[in-house]
Amino acid sequence: MKKKSGYSEFDIENYRSSTWWHHRLFNIALFFLIFLIILVVIFSLLWLFVFTTPKNSNTTTVTASSSSETTTTTSTSSQTTSTSTLTTTTTTQQSVWSYTGKMNNARQAHTASVLKNDRVLAVGGISHDGFLNSSEMYNPSTETWTMTGPMNDRRCDHTASILLNGKVLVTGGRNNLSDALNTATFLYRWNVTGTTVAGTGSSITTAAADQLDHPFSLALDSSNILYIADQQNNRIQKWILGAMTGTTIAGDSGGIAGTNSTEFYQPSGIVLDSSGGIYITDTSNNRVQYWSNGAVSGTTVAGIQGSTGSANNLLVDPFGIALDSSSGTLYIVDQSNSRVMSYLSGAPSGTVVAGGNGLGTGSTQLNYPVGLYFDSSSNSLIIANAGSNNIVRWVIGATNWVLVAGSSTGTSGSSSDLLNYPVGVTLDSLGNLYVADRDNHRIQLFLAGQTNGTTIVGVSGQSGSNDTFLYKPCAVILDSQRNLYVADTYNNRVQQFIRY
């Protein structure tokens, strides 16, 4: 009888045991292989970065003193075939704070701006006296602070911005404990070094075309062509900016004085009309001459040549002159009669509009007036009342003047609120006042409504002939960009000062 084929229970168990053992051996072998690979990698890395890397030795020495710290680092690298040594020395200078010049005013909550000329402008703020409108300039070369023109408003916590053209714009802030300001103001600045645009500045003068002899007054036309009353050369010069010489447009080009219609005797004041004609105060001939554009002789429009007196058709030493372009009315300083006369266009006689009450310092009198400016916005005359060391405003039709700058009693001085024989005067479109303060050898700027001026050109109380000094300037005018032109009279030249 045949046995049935198949596995017994014993055979099945033996098969399972055998299969399990074979799998275990495979796993052990695989683990050992992975372990060997890891060891090889580790050994390779050790060999590469430890056993084959050159040995280093570092030495650091630090030496310190009260003023500087010196650190020296020495590194030596050695290999089998070469040796190199690297030495580095670093010196660090300690910063030390030191005092410089004190500001003129204690201030906080102000601004400090670095200008293009490396000076620092401090503006506004608040002090123990309250809110400030003052500003001052720091000069790092002299370590000193100099007061500059005050702002129109007192303010603190404001901003100050340096514009691309170099101007400083101050905006906002506050001037009490709660209310904010919406006003803004510009800082007026001019290059303090002048450029000679007419004359040579020589103390030895002639009537050559490149020279001037005591230029007394100035005018600019719409093309920025300069007109100069060349007083001691008895002529009027036309000077194109940039030219080396001027052209005589009235008077004798050779400087000869005279009394006829082609000559002058110490002309002092000039003003242009819209047609290019020019009115000239022919001072020592006691008359005013009008030369039309291109004319070769003049016509007397005020005064009588050779005659002096106080009648309304006469003048004695006329100096400053101004024109109301809307009406054609001329205003003439009749100096030795201590008055200002108005002449209607074509009139043979004038009318006293200021002074005429004798020489004096009273508010109804004038005292050796010289310069004159007609302010059309207020229908008034700005008068350089030189003998009283002040600038006054006389409204047309009024019986007295109002003080604008200087002393009301005639006191002279060189402080910011005083003048010393002011001769030339002009206004800008904002009503700011510019004064040729002759015997202080400076140009003063008085912001509208302010009685303290700022020296913007020249050095107060010091005369000189270099490009930062003036010597008894007698006239100041501005072009449309507010660049200054100054008749530097006793230096026999005209100086231009660029606004920036």
Q: Where are the domains of the chain?
A: 111-187, 195-497
One-character DSSP codes across 62-75: EEE-SSEEEEEEEE
Higher pLDDT, 237 or 47: 237
Using CA atoms, how far apart are residues 299 and 106, in angstroms rounded to an integer?
A: 60
70 within 8 A of 61, measured Cβ to Cβ: no
**pLDDT over threshold 50, residue 71:** no
**pLDDT over threshold 80, residue 72:** no
Question: What is the pLDDT confidence band of residue 258, given thresholds at 50, 70 and 90?
Answer: very high
CA distances from 37 to 23, 31, 33, 45 (A): 22, 10, 6, 13
Query: What average pLDDT does range 23-37 have in this prediction?
Result: 76
The percent of residues in the chain predicted with pLDDT above 70, rounded, is 85
Query: What average pLDDT does range 132-155 have in this prediction?
Result: 87
Query: What average pLDDT does range 292-318 have in this prediction?
Result: 97
**Residue 241: alpha-carbon gap to chain centroid:** 21
Question: What is the pLDDT confidence band of residue 22, given thresholds at 50, 70 and 90?
Answer: low
**pLDDT over threshold 80, residue 300:** yes
Report CA torsion sign: 41, 42, 47, 49.
Answer: positive
**pLDDT over threshold 90, residue 7:** no
CATH class of 195-497: mainly beta
318 within 8 A of 332, measured Cβ to Cβ: yes
Write out the two tokens for 392: 């006054």
**Summary mean pLDDT of the chain:** 87
The pLDDT assigned to 52 comes to 55
The pLDDT assigned to 219 comes to 98
Using CA atoms, how far apart are residues 439 and 213, in angstroms rounded to an integer?
A: 18
Query: What average pLDDT does range 464-481 have in this prediction?
Result: 97
Q: How many CB atoms lie within 10 A of CB 55?
A: 8
Give kind and range of the element (H or E) at residue 197: strand 195-199
Using CA atoms, how far apart are residues 239 and 245, in angstroms rounded to an integer?
A: 7
The CB-side HSE value for 104 (13 A sphere, CA atoms) comes to 16
Encode pLDDT of 187-201 as tens digits: 778 999 999 999 999
The pLDDT assigned to 115 comes to 86
CA distances from 254 to 208, 237, 250, 257, 273 (A): 7, 12, 11, 9, 26
Q: How many CB atoms lie within 10 A of CB 386?
A: 26
Using CA atoms, how far apart are residues 123 and 120, in angstroms rounded to an integer?
A: 10
Question: What type of residue is 251?
Answer: G
Question: What type of residue is 155?
Answer: R
The pLDDT assigned to 426 comes to 98
394 within 8 A of 340, measured Cβ to Cβ: yes
Q: How many CB atoms lie within 10 A of CB 123?
A: 28
The pLDDT assigned to 79 comes to 43
The pLDDT assigned to 108 comes to 93
Query: What average pLDDT does range 324-339 have in this prediction?
Result: 97
Write out the two tokens for 435: 């004064």
Give kind and range of the element (H or E) at residue 28: helix 9-46
Query: What average pLDDT does range 446-458 have in this prediction?
Result: 93
The pLDDT assigned to 94 comes to 58
- DSSP 8-state code for residue 48: I
Query: What average pLDDT does range 3-15 have in this prediction?
Result: 44
**pLDDT over threshold 60, residue 106:** yes
CA-atom Rg of the chain in angstroms: 43
**pLDDT over threshold 50, residue 12:** no
Looking up tokens 């930062």 gives 468
Question: What is the pLDDT confidence band of residue 272, given thresholds at 50, 70 and 90?
Answer: very high
The pLDDT assigned to 34 comes to 83
Q: Look at residues 173, 176, 182, 183 and name the one whose alpha carbon lies nearest to residue 152.
A: 183
Higher pLDDT, 225 or 18: 225
**Pairing between strand 390-395 and 402-406?**
antiparallel
Higher pLDDT, 495 or 134: 495
The pLDDT assigned to 164 comes to 82
- Model-wide pTM > 0.85: no
The pLDDT assigned to 29 comes to 74
Using CA atoms, how far apart are residues 136 and 101, in angstroms rounded to an integer?
A: 12
The pLDDT assigned to 43 comes to 75
Please list, in sequence order, all residues whose beta carbon lies within 8 angstroms of the beta carbon of residue 495, skipping any fewer than 6 positions away. 194, 195, 196, 197, 457, 467, 470, 485, 486, 488
Higher pLDDT, 404 or 13: 404
Question: What is the pLDDT confidence band of residue 51, given thresholds at 50, 70 and 90?
Answer: low
